Amino acid sequence: MALTEVNLVDKACSCIDEQDAIAFLQKLVRINSVNPPGTEKAVAEAIKNRLVKAGIAVKLDEVAPNRTNLFAALSGATTAYVNGQQTSTDKVLAYSGHFDTVPIGEVEWKHAPFGGDVINRYMYGRGTADMKAGVAAMVLALECLQRAGIKLGGTLRFVGTVGEEVDCFGAKQIVQKGQIDDTTAMVISEPSANEIFCAHKGALWIAVTVYGKTAHGSMPEQGVNAIQLLTRFIGELDAYEFEYEEHPLLGEPTMNIGTIHGGIKTNVVPDRCTCTLDIRTVPGQNHDEIVEQLRARLDRLCNMAGASYDIRIANDMPPLTTDSEDTFVQLAVDCARKHTGQSLKPKGVRYFTDGSVFAPHLHVPTFIYGPGEPTMAHQPDEWVEVDKYLVSIRFFIAMAIEYLGGSEAEDER
């Protein structure tokens, strides 16, 4: 008689060793994988060494010097037991997480940035929330399923990437090489405080440079002041109106003027000025159209002044959205209720993830669930709650069994 999904989950979760799980996360946090430059290879190797010992197949792909993507998989049978009934499946569930972190910053930390210190059930260190706790939880979920002898009815794959914090470099390499094209559903363990985020905004980062004409500061009429010209452009952005439909989970798009640099000396008319824009978009917006609308404003201003300009796209990440009523998302809601006692309602979040690269290519249902607190990402004294980290391991175990189906290895027929 096949065990129920609940019993299978309990069996796999019995393999979770709290102290070992904490030590494993500490090991990852103590590896400096700040990006730039990245050097995520050491993280990938630490994970590989652990999973290989558990008998799990692992493949490394060094996409740049010291920068290594990782693939680990539990390949199940073509049949499984779902609600006690034998069924066949070709499902492939991908668990996704990135290995790099942002720099520690200039502000002094109270706790060692790469210490992984645990105080009152909080672990401190760069990457604890974003997102080594999520990575460690997914890795341990695979390990526990393997150690418990659970035979999944499809393939569970962990995909670890490099470079997400800058340009999703690792995810782009995976898509270019077609390495996970068989995926049928995806979970990303970015920080969500163990909430379910089924949508996130896109990011369009633009650098605008205006070129004027230098002159002596006492004779400004002989030059073209690039700072003043760019300032007029920035002033027009206050009246800029996006073309969009408000998203039920993400709301409206936003624009932030992040930096401005110009001029070389007080008594010189500046011939160059650059500003950067951080535009967060919602589903339905077209990034190319936004750029063209900004270009039209610059054309008019620069032509009138006898100046020129340049637009450089620094980051172009589309929004991610899976309908909150999608069966995969609703399965996650039910999974959390049954196996972790959480009553969750799918939400949206403002940051972007590797999902911006994976989703347009794979066209599969995707959501975010991870133990990190979203507001702690990129902060000094970053932390993760140990208890949420442990709960997330159980969730990832349960989600694999609920989605793929499963049986005890000795119960194969």
Per the structure block, which two tokens stand in for 155? 């393939």
Pairing, β 406-408 against β 150-152: antiparallel
* 3-state DSSP assignment of residue 59: strand
Per the structure block, which two tokens stand in for 334? 């039910």
What is the spatial distance between Cα 246 and Cα 227, in angstroms, rounded to a whole number? Answer: 34
Q: Dump the DSSP string for 96-135.
A: EEE--B----SSPPSS-TTT--EETTEEESTTIIIIIHHH
Per the structure block, which two tokens stand in for 118? 């645990």
Residues paired with residue 406 on neighbouring β-strands, in sequence order: 81, 152
Task: Give me the chain's average pLDDT, please.
Answer: 94
CATH superfamily of 5-200+320-411: Zn peptidases (3.40.630.10)
Q: pTM to 2 decimals?
A: 0.91
Closest to 162 measured CA to CA, from 268, 327, 36: 36
Which helix or strand (DSSP H or E) is residue 79 part of?
strand 79-82
Pairing, β 197-200 against β 320-321: antiparallel
Residues 321-380 have pLDDT tens digits of 999 999 999 999 999 999 999 999 999 999 999 999 999 999 999 999 999 999 999 999
Residues 18-62 have pLDDT tens digits of 999 999 999 999 999 999 999 999 999 999 999 999 999 999 999
Which helix or strand (DSSP H or E) is residue 340 part of?
helix 327-340
CATH number among 3.20.20.70, 3.40.50.410, 3.30.70.360, 3.90.226.10, domain 202-317: 3.30.70.360
Q: How many CA atoms lie within 13 A of 248 on its CB side?
A: 9
What is the spatial distance between Cα 195 and Cα 177, in angstroms, rounded to a whole number? Answer: 32
What is the spatial distance between Cα 145 and Cα 81, in angstroms, rounded to a whole number? Answer: 15
Residue extents of the structural domains in the chain? 5-200+320-411, 202-317
Which helix or strand (DSSP H or E) is residue 49 part of?
helix 41-53
pLDDT category of residue 87 using cuts at 50, 70 and 90: low
pLDDT category of residue 6 using cuts at 50, 70 and 90: confident
**What is residue 4's predicted lDDT score, i.e. its pLDDT?**
79
**What is residue 226's predicted lDDT score, i.e. its pLDDT?**
98
- The answer, yes or no, to whether residue 88 has pLDDT greater than 80, is no
Closest to 171 measured CA to CA, from 74, 66, 99: 99
Q: What are phi and psi of 384, to 5 degrees?
A: -135, 145
Alpha-carbon dihedral 91, 3, 15, 355, rounded to 10 degrees: 20
Residues 133-187 have pLDDT tens digits of 999 999 999 999 999 999 999 999 999 999 999 999 999 999 999 999 999 999 9
Residues 262-298 have pLDDT tens digits of 999 999 999 999 999 999 999 999 999 999 999 999 9
**What is residue 80's predicted lDDT score, i.e. its pLDDT?**
45
